[in-house]
Structure 1
């Protein structure tokens, strides 16, 4: 199967983190790569100035791509003079049907500004890797976060998460960790209404059975498992740190309109705390 990856690099010269992460995926998955850099602050009304800046940026981008990815006919470079990164990427993915988008993560969110990362998470039809600025180790540690809920929507997400987990664990020759966080509302913990360890102990046997069945159905019975309890946006980041994970795979439900603005989702909340790469697969609400 021919796969394709879209890599979004920063607007600064020699921003190579997303290129380096994409190289891991492309090499193991035999995928072609489109690399794009956006010039968001350029004055597009001055046509000559714009064309000169785009030409120079393209030369720099080709140099960076060559240094990281090597000379290959499967790499195409693009420079786009546009500040609306999310819209351009979403349209590009619809036209070419990319299998994966890779970009370096940014933590600039606030109540009145939805950053590009969030917009892409909510709008893309393909998985997205939000990359951090750390290099992967020679032996990658892969962590997948699942939900053992019986809801059809959750089961569909689990299937997508574990498909990618199986694919990447085979490609990287590593045994994945599959993690489930038993949810506990934060106020219950803060007010000592629920004691975390006791709650985990009482729920863990049933969860272990559900998790074993889930992994058996997906032919991942060999995976390591880890069960914790608490607010997932914090517990998942804590487990990822303990495992020294290079990549965390998780799902999110794409919410639209006011509902999405007010509620967000677990994947977006995890981005506040996670300091590793996160591969997000999606389903519509």
Structure 2
């Protein structure tokens, strides 16, 4: 994986400033071009638009390197970000997780989620503060044994070559709730979980063995993504979680897309979603 072009979109909030700094660090580390984008809604009055333009200049001077390309656009926020990413053929799109409703009024959770869901390139959602020279130290790769998960893991590992990489698979018994409603006891459900883990563990270990470089740790455990993955991220002090956004069939897109949405919603670290 060669990172050539990084696009970071900012709403001028402090949280988005951290995203700009993270994007600048990654672009510099990989010798990539960096574009910093802010989008003003069309409804913004002309006098406030001028003020916002000055605020954008100040924001860029504070958080971005001097060599960055900067773009201030007017239009629908999500659509404009996606169009710029496509126009640039960006290899990575970086967003803040939640804005403070800066002048662009953009990234208040749902906008970030919408862009991450629709983006044709990998999306890095930045939640945590970043120092000018900091790299990701520990990366949790949330996987199944599919080709799509392999590509996501490989992209995440290539993006963070100096990190410790942990492959994690969470195994859930499909229809647990319905089984309980039909009278199946917890011990029986535990037995089903153990059987599911016994079946999937060799496949995940084989999956990890095919990755290059080989990850440092492989973890296979029971639970739902929204509960187990945040716990694993906290246990291993992961500062980045990587997941795929879906694959070719509708069912797989719904299933894996649900995991990506769950990770984005519940994990407190940065999140990289790879389509």
Q: Normalising by the residue count of structure 1, what TM-score does the alignment of the two structures yield?
A: 0.77
Q: 1:134 to 1:14 in 2, by over 3 A?
A: closer
Within the candidate set 147, 150, 161, 1:156 is matched to: 147
Cα deviation, residue 117, structure 1: 1.9
Aligned to 1:271, the other structure's residue is in SS state helix
Cα deviation, residue 139, structure 1: 6.3
Retained in 1: the 8 A contact 2:136–2:160? no
Is residue 145 from structure 1 mapped to residue 142 from structure 2 by the alignment? Answer: yes
Cα deviation, residue 6, structure 1: 0.6
Cα deviation, residue 160, structure 1: 1.5
- Find the counterpart in structure 1 of residue 59 from structure 2: 61
Consecutive unaligned residues of structure 1, counting only runs of 5 or more, are 149-154
Aligned to 1:70, the other structure's residue is in SS state coil
Question: How many equivalent residue pairs?
Answer: 257
Within the candidate set 120, 129, 132, 1:125 is matched to: 120
Q: 1:57 to 1:14 in 2, by over 3 A?
A: farther
Q: 1:254 to 1:122 in 2, by over 3 A?
A: farther
Retained in 1: the 8 A contact 2:3–2:91? no
Aligned to 1:33, the other structure's residue is in SS state strand
Retained in 2: the 8 A contact 1:142–1:248? yes
Consecutive unaligned residues of structure 2, counting only runs of 5 or more, are 101-107
Cα deviation, residue 37, structure 1: 1.9
Retained in 2: the 8 A contact 1:215–1:221? yes
Cα deviation, residue 197, structure 1: 5.6
Cα deviation, residue 273, structure 1: 1.2
- Find the counterpart in structure 2 of residue 115 from structure 1: 110
Retained in 2: the 8 A contact 1:57–1:79? no
- Find the counterpart in structure 2 of residue 99 from structure 1: 91
Q: 1:41 to 1:92 in 2, by over 3 A?
A: closer
Q: Normalising by the residue count of structure 2, what TM-score does the alignment of the two structures yield?
A: 0.79
Task: Name the Cα RMSD after superposition.
Answer: 3.3
- Counting only pairs closer than 5 Å after superposition, residues 130-209 of structure 1 correspond to structure 2 as 130-135=125-130, 140-148=137-145, 155-170=146-161, 173-184=162-173, 185=175, 187=177, 193-195=185-187, 198-209=191-202
- Find the counterpart in structure 2 of residue 151 from structure 1: none
